[in-house]
Amino acid sequence: MLNYIWGGLIISSLVFALVYDTRDLMRDTYRNGAEVTLEVDLEGDSTGRRQPARVHMPQERYQALYNVDNAPGTTFDGTLVRTRDGMQLRFAQDAALPEPWKTIRDMTSPRDNDLRGTVTRLDMHTDSTATAVIRFADVKFVKMTAIAQAAIDMAETAVTLALGLIGVIALWMGLLKIAEAAGLIHAVVRFTQPVLGPLFPEIPKGHPALGMIVLNLTANMLGLGNAATPLGIKAMEELQTLNPDPDTATNSMVMLLAMNTASVQLVPPVILVALMGLQINQLIFAIIIVTMISLIVAITAAKLLSRMKRYRIPPTGAGAAMTGPEG
């Protein structure tokens, strides 16, 4: 089901982007091929390859050209660059540009982050003032390009995250093997059986799955997300050994997933600490109370749904034959 949801979201975003980009093309939002007239104040040596400049475009002219309400009300720093192919006017990097200039800059010069226009005519009034006519590069399919770039960026992030987890998972899996060989897992099971037994009645007494569940929930409560991941995987593997139908999640699996999702946070997650710093101390008690409530709701929901006929695991194999209708 989750795959269908993601597929629907991707298709919807592509349709939205295509409609949006088609509208921009029909309206000629970015005035592709149009000439833009600017007032330029030149500074420094006029014989050099690069000459500092102050660029200004009257608000009325900007509004009339792009049919927008907002317009640049200030003068922008820039540089007049002379090359063999002609002249180019470059606005300062990271300049606070209005739309659609900002989008034109982001689409045509994402690496240098400066708006560039080819100078088609430069009329000098004095040695330091001139009127420049420039033409920006064409801009098309803004939203489609943004979606494609986001997909590439997220794919890179996913690979980086996966590679980063390899070492963590290998470390904790090794520690689990050592703990299992030393008998620590069985000790944890015996200690926590009275508490977690009613929540996981399908797990036999003394089964190592219960120990993995305890370690996983403990790591979650302490905010150790990287440690909780391999522990949760191992717990699910142990629960799968008790599953009569490998293609269907058992009640214990559902309960573990619910408790993981709504786990009590005794220690704030690392990402919140990184974002808020010491200010997170003001939210510790609120986080504990809210996560305790969410855990109670999750356990209650899992228990109630497991009692509903719709969510029960149907009998399989010999059990199905014994409980089937009489012939």
Q: What's at 17, amino acid-wise?
A: A
pLDDT the model gives residue 118: 93
pLDDT the model gives residue 156: 87
Q: Is 51 left (phi over 0), alpha (psi -120 to 50) or beta?
A: beta
Place of tokens 């001139």: 130
Q: If you count DSSP H runs as helices and E runs as strands, how many of each does the chain have, helices first?
A: 11, 6
Under DSSP, the state recorded for 276 is H
pLDDT the model gives residue 267: 67
Where helices occur in 197-316 by DSSP H, the ranges are 208-221, 225-240, 251-261, 270-276, 284-307
Residue 256 near residue 236 (C-beta atoms within 8 A): yes
What global pTM score does this model have?
0.57
- Cis before 208 (ω within 30): no
pLDDT at residue 323 tops 50: no
Indicate the average pLDDT of the chain: 81
pLDDT at residue 179 tops 80: no
| pLDDT tens per residue, range 248-260 | 888 889 998 888 8
Kindly give, in sequence order, each residue whose CB lies less than 8 Å from that of residue 68, ignoring residues fewer than 6 positions away.
62, 98, 99, 100
- What pLDDT band is residue 321 in, cutting at 50, 70 and 90? very low
DSSP secondary structure string, 168-226?
Answer: HHHHHHHHHHHHHHTTHHHHHHHHHHHHHTTT-TTSPTT-HHHHHHHHHHHHHHTT-HH
Residue 151 near residue 143 (C-beta atoms within 8 A): no
Which of 74-88, 176-190, 293-307 has the least mean pLDDT?
176-190
More confident residue, 199 or 186: 199
> Cα Rg for the chain, rounded, in angstroms?
32
| pLDDT tens per residue, range 249-296 | 888 899 988 888 887 777 666 555 555 556 666 777 888 888 889 889
| pLDDT tens per residue, range 38-55 | 999 998 877 778 999 999
Tokens representing residue 172 in the block: 């904790």
Q: What is the mean pLDDT of residues 221-229?
A: 71
Q: What is the mean pLDDT of residues 195-210?
A: 83
Q: What is the mean pLDDT of residues 95-119?
A: 89
Percent of the chain beyond pLDDT 70? 83
Residue 98 near residue 104 (C-beta atoms within 8 A): no
- What pLDDT band is residue 322 in, cutting at 50, 70 and 90? very low
pLDDT the model gives residue 317: 44
Residue 63 near residue 81 (C-beta atoms within 8 A): no
pLDDT the model gives residue 325: 43
Q: What is the distance between the alpha carbons of residues 103 and 101, in angstroms, rounded to a whole number? A: 5
Helix (H, G, I), strand (E, B) or coil at 38: strand
